[in-house]
Every structure is written in C-alpha cells, then in structure tokens.
Amino acid sequence: MTGPKLGTLAVHAGEGETLAVPSTTTPVYQATTYRFDTAADAAAYLEAPEGRWLYSRLENPTVIAAERKIAALEGAEGAACFASGMAAMTAALQASLRAGDALLLCDTLYGQTTRLARDVLERFGVEIRPVPFEGLAAAVAAAPTNARALVFETPTNPTLRVADIPAVAAACRARSIRSVLDATFASPINLRALPMGVDLVVHSTTKFLNGHSDHLGGAVAGARSLLDGVLAMRRTTGGNMDAAAAYDLLRGMKTLEVRVLRQNDTALRVAQALEGHPRVEQVMYPFLASHADHALARRLLRGGGGVLSFTVRGGYEAVARVHDALGLVARASSLGGVESLASIPVISSHRNATDAELRAQGIGRGTLRVSVGLEDPEDLVEDLLQALERA
Ligand SMILES: *Cc1c(COP(=O)(O)O)cnc(C)c1O
C-alpha cells in the first residue's frame, strides 16, 4: 500500500473539502486558519481581504454570518461581533478616541461602561465628562471643544428612561461628536437608532439578541467608514466572538422578533397589573402613560421592551421579602432570556450608588427589576402578586 500513512490521514483526510451542502443553517467554522492555493492568493489577501480568508482573529465565516444578520436588523452598512458586550463597547470607544479627547459619559449607564471610562480610558489620557440624561442634547451642544464621543443608552437600566435620540444625534453631528448608543435593552426590534442619526449602536448580544441565557457576546453596528476603525481595533486587541458563540447568536436571532414582540406585550401586561397595587409605590415602564418618557417612547420605540421595574413600599426590607418569595420568576441578574428574571438594583447594578445618586436617577432602595421571559403572562402576574403579599 502506498499513499499517506495513518498519521497523515488522521490529520488531513476529509478536511477542508468544499462540500456543496444546501444546509438551512450556517455551519460552525471551527477553524483558526484557512488554506491558500498559491503565493499569489496569499499576496492577494493583502491587497483585497474582502471575500478571502486568512486567520480567525481577522475573519470567520460563522461570525460574519451573525454580523450580516445584525447589520440587516439595524439597517447598518456593517456590524462587528465581539466576545462580550463590554468588548464591543471597548472597541467602539477605543476606535473613537485618543489621548486628549473628551468622552461625554451619560450619567445613567450600565455600571461596567462607566468603569471602562473611568478606570481604563481615563488612564490612557481620555478626559471623562459626565453629562446628565435630563437635557442630554443641550449638554452635548455645550460640550468642551475636545469632546469627540458620547455614550448613552435607551432604555436605561433600571428606570427604562428613553432619550430623545434624534435630537441627541443631531446635537452630536453639529459638533462632530461621535454618538455611541447602547441599545441592548431595546434590541433592533424595538429601536433602530442608526436611521435616527446615531453613529454607532452597541449591543450586548448576551441579552435579547441571543435570548436564551446561554451565550456571551457583543456587537457594534454602523456605517462602513466607522466600522472599519472598530474592526481594526478588534484585529489588534482580539476581543473576537468565537464561531460557536456566533452560531448560538444566529440561532437565537431567528426568533428575535417573535420573542421581543411577546415580551413587549407581557411586560406591559405585568406593568399594568402592578400599577396601583397598594404595596407598589411606582411602576417604571416606557409604554405606561405614567412613565416620564411615555410620549417619546411611543414615538421612537416599537414596544416598551421586556424589562420593567417597580418600587415596593417599605424600602429594601420589603423588596427583599418580595424578591425571596418569587416562585416562577428566577432571582438572577441579566435580562432578555426566555425565562423571567428579577434582581434588586441596590444590591446589584447600583450597589455603589449613594442615596443622592439613587434619588437623582429615580431608583429606590425598594426597587425590583424584572425581565419578562416567554412564560404565560397571567402566570407571571400571579407570581408577582403573591410575592407582593409578603411585602
Ligand atoms: C449586559 C449589558 C452590557 C454588557 O454586556 P456583556 O455581554 O455582559 O459584556 C452592556 N450594556 C448593557 C445595557 C447591558 O445590559
């Protein structure tokens, strides 16, 4: 017998063949590197990498498929996927700022984004300028001349505030300040911010986009010219999404609209059931008429989203009893999954906030945040009402 020996066959047999399989799903390309036929092909990559393959920190077909789906959902020229929402935010800001620039940091941000600015970017010479959510467009207009980027969120955590995105984006454009919006709580089903003038939209795909609490990832979407800088940053810093994670994201996104529309309906139903309850001081949900940004939310959002918050009378002790009495709703952080989750901001996202900061943001010691899943809405209402009996 001639031909390759067993060890060689073990390495090569069956690999890298182009199988024309009309699969309905995108395979997981579990490869770090790709073959070139010739030196001319390898050299051609350097001239025009588009449509060619070199190394998976640079490009991976499964990840690219997920990026194309996100770009399509956001109405973006492109998207870039990352290992986490924080890796996505990091690359978006690193690509937008250099030492000496000022970053406008909205005062209602995901805690880790604030830490990224204050503990990391500031050390590299970026000046951090806090700007208030209230009157954000005016604060942008009055920003110092070295302001180069703004980070803000809609809806915010945990009070579900909605920014006047077109006004804020226009104020940024007028000053050549790059607007970066974390739209994780909205998902592209409820909010498409790029057509409203925002420069870069960031998602933690860990939440609604994947939707099954089994994936950690992030994405940045925007115009090609801006995205190229974000991709260059990813090539160098290496916060890439893994191909297997991209598959989970692709699969999750297929049901994104069905899930989010149902979660919108359920969250509104739950919010209405809680509003006016004698043990509830306040319910925060953008599609309730009582919400501070109700008119704006109805104008900008397709739905109020899957997250609502409410403040129980009696402060922390009371909300802790409600929290501990939940049956169907799991006591867990995160959001956007098929199972309902509840967490108390003052012992999670806002554990370091002072009383003054809590009051300024409308968060109480008795506030509970609930992310509704796909359970029957009436079962969720029943669970929350029985838990409120313990307040
Ligand atoms: C979860 C979350 C993040 C961070 O995303 P990770 O995937 O956990 O890194 C950023 N922004 C918002 C609004 C989030 O909810």
- Regions of the chain short of the pLDDT cut 70: 1, 18
pLDDT confidence of residue 16: 76
Give, in order, the Cα–Cα distances in Å from 61 to each of 77, 83, 112, 243.
17, 16, 30, 8
HSE-up (13 A, CA, CB side) for residue 107: 17
Among the listed residues 333, 326, 360, 365, the one whose alpha carbon sits nearest the alpha carbon of residue 346: 365
Q: Which atom of ligand 1 is nearest to the CA of 206?
A: 7
Residue from 82, 105, 191, 206 to probe ligand 1 pocket by mutation (most atoms less than 8 Å from CB): 206
The rounded Å distance from CA 289 to ligand 1 centre is 28
Q: How far is the CA of 180 from the centre of ligand 1 (A)?
A: 14
- State which ligand 1 atom lies nearest to the alpha carbon of 335: 15
Ligand 1 pocket test, pick from 82, 86, 159, 160 with the greatest ligand atom count within 8 Å of Cβ, gives 86
- What kind of fold does domain 256-390 have according to CATH? Aspartate Aminotransferase, domain 1 (3.90.1150)
The span from the CA of 349 to the CA of 344, in Å, is 8
Tracing tokens 């992030």 back to the chain, one arrives at: 218
pLDDT for position 18: 67
Q: Which of 293, 289, 275, 341 is nearest to 156 (CA)?
A: 293
Q: What is the pLDDT of residue 369?
A: 98
CATH classification code of 56-253? 3.40.640.10
Residue 376, classified by CB atoms within 10 Å of its CB into exposed (0-12), middle (13-18) or buried (19+), is exposed
- Report yes or no: 70 and 221 within 8 Å, Cβ to Cβ: yes
C-alpha 384/C-alpha 78 separation (Å) is 41
Ligand 1, atom 1, lies closest to the CA of 204
For 141-158, how does the pLDDT look when each residue is reduced to its tens digit (9 = 90+)?
Answer: 999 999 999 999 999 999
Q: How would you list the strands of the sheet with 330-331, edge to edge?
A: 280-284, 307-312, 367-371, 341-343, 330-331
In the reported structure, the alpha carbon of residue 204 is separated from the centroid of ligand 1 by a whole-number distance in angstroms of: 5
DSSP element (H, E) containing 114? helix 111-115
N- to C-terminal Cα separation, the chain: 80
Atom number of ligand 1 nearest to Cα 157: 13
> Which sign does the torsion angle of CA 178, 231, 186, 74 carry?
positive
List all residues whose CB is within 6 A of at least one atom of ligand 1: 84-86, 110, 112, 153, 157, 182, 184-185, 204, 206-207, 216, 218
Q: How far apart are CA 135 and CA 139, in angstroms?
A: 6
Q: Write the residue with the smallest CA distance to atom 5 of ligand 1.
A: 85
Q: Domain ranges in the chain? A: 56-253, 256-390
- 8 Å CB contact between 336 and 372: no
98 CA to centre of ligand 1 in angstroms = 24
Q: In ligand 1, which atom is closest to the CA atom of 217?
A: 7
Instruction: Specify the pLDDT at position 14.
Output: 78
